[in-house]
Amino acid sequence: MAKKKGGRMISSAGLVTYYDSEDRRQVTIDKTTVMAVTVGIAVFIFVLNLL
């Protein structure tokens, strides 16, 4: 039998492999900033519900 070219496993069933890459052009947001904005929006909605 001839060997198949390529290093993909047959059992992968067409699933895409994602790699972590560092792209300097991408926008990065710190996770503490996301949490702070989320809490701020939640407090703002809570205050609006009280009014």
Q: What is the pTM of this model?
A: 0.51
The pLDDT value given to residue 24:
73
Distance, CA of 51 to CA of 45 (rounded, Å): 10
> Could you say which residues of the chain have pLDDT below 50?
none
Exposure pattern of 33-44 as b/e (b: 16+ CB <10 Å)?
Answer: eeeeeeeeeeee
- Give the span between the Cα atoms of 40 and 51, in whole angstroms: 17
CA distance 11 to 26: 33
